Amino acid sequence: MKPELHRFHGGLRLDGHKAESLAGGLRQASLPRQLVLPLKQHIGDYNKPLVDVGDRVLKGHLIAANSSLICAAVHAPTSGRVSAIEARPVPHPSGFTDTCIVIDVDGKDDAAEPQLRDPSTLAAEAMIQQICRAGIVGLGGAAFPTSPKVSRSRQQGIDTLVINGIECEPYITCDDILMRTDPAGVLRGVGYLQQILAPRVTLIGIEDNKPEALAAMREALLRAPLANTEIIAVPTVYPSGSEKQLIQILTGRQIPHGQLAFDIGFLCQNVGTCRAIAQALEQDQPMISRIVTLSGDNIADPGNWEVRLGTPIRDLVAQAGGYRHAERAHLVMGGPMMGISLAGDEVPIVKASNCILAMTRETIPARPGHHDECIRCGKCVEVCPAQLLPQQLYWHSRARAFDQAQEFHLFDCIECGCCSAVCPSKIPLVQYYRAAKSEVRAARKAQFKSDRARARFEFREKRLALKKQQDEERKRKKREALQRKRARPGQESTVEADPVQAALDRVKARKQARRDEPS
């Protein structure tokens, strides 16, 4: 029986611009001369380098990790020698630099010896540990570490596993090409998630503008069936690829305010993440590469490439024939709606790089220009898929009234950009919301540190006060014991005399003896 599809509020129908990057199939990007690997390529805590300058590394070697729960390890994408551990530009709209491990590639592509085990014989916890060691993150763009998400979902109990094959933003086709070329790998990863989580049902959502991917995935499922698994064609409406919206489309259920998907029995994973899980469990292959869409109106040969992490974007652009207009180039990582502008093409491909758009400055200006004042037309409310009041959020964010912004559910905003796209005043609404969220997070972090410091201070004060009280109690008991001894001079006491008082008595006796001597 075909599942009933549901609608979410708002959304937009956008021009796809997908055909350009799909024409050439999936290509393998060549190795650059140098790889630049940021220590942090995920949401969560920073990694620490596990190599030194001068070390030779092999493909798959662990080079950075952290024992923190929310973290994803970094591995060497190929063999070479570590030439530097230093600050380099990373994907960030401000040109932000961060600590990176730089590897001079030797061209041999020598790999570390894999430790192969049969995944079907592994316990769920062992599979999660393998996913953790592989450094896998969500490949839909958010880059949240996969292992803690799967582990938490297993603890909570999952009723429905949702596999996200939606690419609702224009230009992005990396998941489409993956499902066309390796549908069996995707489904094997889905099977391993089912082995870990034991969901009641698995729903694979793919947009109806991907007929080739739908056909390939359905054929692969017929060849290797998975229990209670359904592939569903989803209407092409932006942002149907967002987790909350996709769950609502497939099941009709909404994630309540302040809760996450696994709180109500759902786990959502991207198709690329599923294939990475299969590679980690079957081949002991860590996340060292990913499929990247390179497209836009300013690239000579748009397409999809399997790219080693750390490859500078300029090297990938060169393999795609270069820019059409180099002097007018403007780069975006991600799609035109939710992507971030890049300061230059020297930044590397990272785990979150699902798409690199090479646009002209006229198409996507580098910085938001002047905008008119809000005319309260209400178009932003009509298209908001999270059913928020973008107008009110804008006023409170602009006025830095962050408490009021949170009352209007600021953190429920998924930053899809629908409101900005339809605003007749050209107000960069999402930028205001992002800035407000950053301010609130910074204030919360500072408050947490302050509360923790105050708690430590109060604990220290209590500890010192208790020590002082205990010392005074010991002295009191000692004085009482001495008083009891003096009260019974004929009775031998086992209480030891006060040495200080005894010394004072001896000094007093000597002085008295000197006074009594005849002159």
| DSSP, residue by residue, 254-291 | -PPTT--GGGGTEEEEEHHHHHHHHHHHHH---S-EEE
In-domain check, residue 413: yes
Is it the case that residue 517 has pLDDT exceeding 80? Answer: no
Convert the pLDDT of each residue in 39-85 to its tens digit: 999 988 899 999 999 999 999 999 999 988 899 999 999 999 999 99
- What is the domain range of residue 441? 378-487+496-510
pLDDT digits (tens, 9 = 90+) for 259-271: 889 899 999 999 9
Report yes or no on 94 lying in a domain. Answer: no
- Average pLDDT on 241-247 reads 94
Mean pLDDT of 428-445: 92
How many domains are contained in the chain? 1
Looking only at the bridges linking them, the beta strands covering 289-295 and 355-360 are parallel
Q: Is residue 405 part of a domain?
A: yes
- CA 444 to chain centroid, in Å, comes to 19
Question: Which of the residue ranges 178-187, 457-466, 480-489 would you say has the lowest mean pLDDT?
Answer: 480-489
Given a cut of 70, whether residue 498 has pLDDT beyond it is: no
Q: Is residue 446 part of a domain?
A: yes
Residue 477 belongs to some domain of the structure: yes
pLDDT tens digits for range 500-514: 777 888 888 888 888
Tell whether 195 is covered by a domain.
Answer: no
Please check the confidence at residue 366 and state whether its pLDDT lies above 50. no
Q: Is residue 275 part of a domain?
A: no
Q: What is the mean pLDDT of the chain?
A: 91
* Percent of all residues in the chain with a pLDDT value above 90, rounded to a whole number: 77
pLDDT reading at 396 higher than 60: yes
Domain presence at residue 416: yes
Q: Provide DSSP, 275-333.
A: HHHHHHHHH---S-EEEEEEESTTBSS-EEEEEETT-BHHHHHHHTT-BSSGGGEEEEE
Who wins on pLDDT, 326 or 107?
107
DSSP reduced 3-state for 197:
helix
**Residues present in the chain in total:** 519
Q: What are phi and psi of 64, to 5 degrees?
A: -160, 140
Alpha helices in 95-210 (DSSP H): 124-133, 146-156, 174-181, 183-197
Q: What was the pLDDT predicted at 489?
A: 59
pTM of the predicted structure, to 2 decimals = 0.85
Which residue is it, tokens 């075909």? 2
Span 316-359, pLDDT tens digits: 999 999 999 888 889 999 999 999 889 889 999 999 999 999 99
Task: Look up tokens 């198709």; give the residue.
Answer: 271
Q: What are the tens digits of pLDDT across the range 147-183?
A: 999 999 999 999 999 999 999 899 999 999 999 999 9
